[in-house]
């Protein structure tokens, strides 16, 4: 049986979008409480009842949170253009080597605005 498991985490961070027009509010320094959803896909081991322990997932995610939480995102290598799209890709690429079952990375910048990053094998 194939399933997807999901772990959510959040972090607070500041950013500026210098790629926006001069007049745009997002060029000014501001912050968000980002909500991230990490979705992993795998075949359930019938003996164990799952394919990946939620606890192991948390262990892989925690170092990413440390890098992002209460930081100015523009200063982080690879996040010079810190849109939700670019942050989602950055988190995905940090996690994937540690978490081969990672399938989808969702990032909510506000309760209403979010992105989903889910590259297929052919995109790699």
Ligand X SMILES: Nc1nc2c(c(=O)[nH]1)N=C([C@H](O)[C@H](O)COP(=O)(O)OP(=O)(O)OP(=O)(O)O)CN2
- Residues annotated as binding site? 15, 30, 32
Catalytic annotation present for 26? yes
- Taking the C-alpha atoms of residue 41 and residue 34, their distance in angstroms, rounded to an integer, is 23
Cα dihedral sign, 23-10-115-56: positive
- In sequence order, the 6+-apart residues with CB closer than 8 A to the CB of 78 are 90
Q: Choose the catalytic residue: 24, 70, 98, 116.
A: 70
Query: Per-residue x/- marks for ligand X, 24-63, CB under 6 A?
Result: --x---x---------------------------------
Catalytic annotation present for 70? yes
- Residues forming the annotated binding site for Zn(2+)? 15, 30, 32
Q: In which element (H, E) is residue 41 found?
A: strand 30-43
Q: Which is nearer to ligand X, 2 or 25 (CB)?
A: 25
Hey, which residues are catalytic here? Answer: 26, 70, 109
């Amino acid at each position: 049986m194939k399933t997807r498991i999901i772990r959510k985490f959040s972090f607070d961070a500041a950013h500026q979008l210098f790629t926006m027009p001069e007049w745009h509010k997002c060029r000014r320094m501001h912050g968000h409480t980002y909500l991230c959803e990490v979705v992993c896909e795998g075949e359930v081991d019938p003996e164990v009842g799952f394919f990946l322990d939620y606890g192991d997932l948390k262990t892989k995610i925690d170092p990413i949170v440390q890098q992002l939480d209460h930081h100015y995102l523009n200063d982080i290598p690879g996040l010079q253009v810190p849109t939700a799209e670019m942050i989602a890709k950055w988190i995905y690429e940090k996690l994937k080597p540690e978490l081969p079952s990672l399938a989808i990375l969702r990032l909510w910048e506000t309760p209403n605005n979010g992105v989903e990053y889910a590259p297929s094998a052919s995109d790699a």
